Amino acid sequence: MGVGGLLRSRAVGAAVAQVWQAVGNFGLQIIAAWTLGAAGLGLISLSLGVIILATALASGMIGDSLVILQRDNPRIRGALLGWALIVAAVSAVVTGVAMAVTLLTPLQAVLFACALVAFQFEELLRRVFMGVMQFWRLVVVDSVAVMGALGSLALVAMFGSVTVEAFFAALLFGQLAAIVVAVLLLPREERWLAPVRGADLRAVWAFGSWRGAQVAVPQLMMTASRVLITAFAGGVALGLVEGARILVAPVLLTVQGLGSYLLSTYVRDKSIGVVELRRRAWRASGLMMGAALLAGAAIFALTGPLGRIVGDIAVERLAVAGWVAYVIASASFQPFASLAAVKGAPRRVFACRVVDASFAAALFVIVLAAGLPAAWAPFVLAAGLVLGGVLVRAAVLAPLTKESPARRATELRIGHA
């Protein structure tokens, strides 16, 4: 494929969008590591983890419903808006209060909650672009978010000291700027709102609640792992593990970006049978795992020089290897979970996620209670994903290939209704 073909490729656009988003997160956390130290990096990482968890919930429940359901129906579109407002309000209040009474000052908690809401709405606008397969416009939107956040921190550093408040304010500014640009770039046929009154809230809830719960499970597990590391080993240990994750984050977000692209293609080609789409998922998973292994091996080999970027933090090679394993495990799982959701089985996928998360949580406590280093944490998370992939393929996709067309059509109608 030539340069022109690459630039026109939607898959490449999806990957570039995620990589560019990773660059912004990478830059923010590098600044946190240099200015706030390991403990400060741990606090910022934990706060970002909560934001990502809440955003994943909104993205799964509302964003996936937006892509899969008929958003051109005014009743569905009004319901999407209604649920977006409800989820944003509830998550901002709950997480803001929880962070205020545990880790943050009142001012920090307010800025944190505002940034969280901005992240959620920016992500929902991103999902519209995914729904219309315009991934390269995501690069523009994400560029604005990155430059807005990093530029704000640069101004703060020029005239004073960088603080936790400055980080949350920079995140908020970057996301608000990205929202404005995203609205301007939306296709004209997507730039309209439907009234919430009379909207079919139940239809969106019937599909989106299970999908939202499903995609929130890994982020909830990630947040729980940070809390457990802090409880068992302290904030500095969490900072060391997060320092290793920062190095591998671009590869992980690339895999997630390709996963979003696959979800859109499954929706586009949902008339194709499960057997053929499952073969496509296997091919995509194999390519993603191979690419993740190669990129991860390079990062592992260069841990020493790359670790200096993170600041005055000793990046552990064991933790880097663990995060590489986590990325490979994610590539083995994501294509199949997305396919199962599109084929009308979000409840089954959620059940699989609960099982693998419970397994990982129990193993996590055993490892930390036994006194093993926190650097083993990403290996535990990877083990949970591997189990989840096995369960989805065996308990969800395999039965779907055996069901009669009439039964599958009935299930799809029920799931989408």
Give the whole-number percent of the chain exceeding pLDDT 70: 88
Give the side-chain half-sphere CA count within 13 A for 15. Answer: 14
pLDDT tier at 190, thresholds 50, 70, 90? confident
CA dist 399 and 391 (Å) reads 12
pLDDT, tens only, 215-260: 778 778 888 888 888 888 887 788 788 888 888 887 887 787 777 7
For CA atoms 394, 334, 172, 194, the dihedral sign is negative
| 158: phi then psi, degrees, rounded to nearest 5 | -70, -35
CA angle, 39 then 42 then 47, to 5°: 130
Secondary structure letter of residue 314 according to DSSP:
-
Dist. CA 172–CA 119, nearest whole Å: 8
Total-model pTM = 0.70
CB distance 258 to 333 below 8 Å: no
- Kindly list the domain boundaries of the chain, sorted by start residue: 3-416
How far apart CA 413 and CA 211 sit, in angstroms, is 16
Our separate counts of H helices and E strands in the chain read: 16, 0
Other residues' Cβ atoms within 10 Å of the Cβ of residue 116: 28
Who contacts 302 (Cβ-Cβ below 8 Å, separation ≥6)?
none
Tell me the per-residue pLDDT of 191-219, one tens digit each, with 9 for 90 and over: 888 888 888 888 889 888 887 887 778 77
> 386 Cβ partners below 8 Å, 6+ apart?
329, 332, 333
| Whole-angstrom distance, CA of residue 266 vs CA of residue 243 | 35
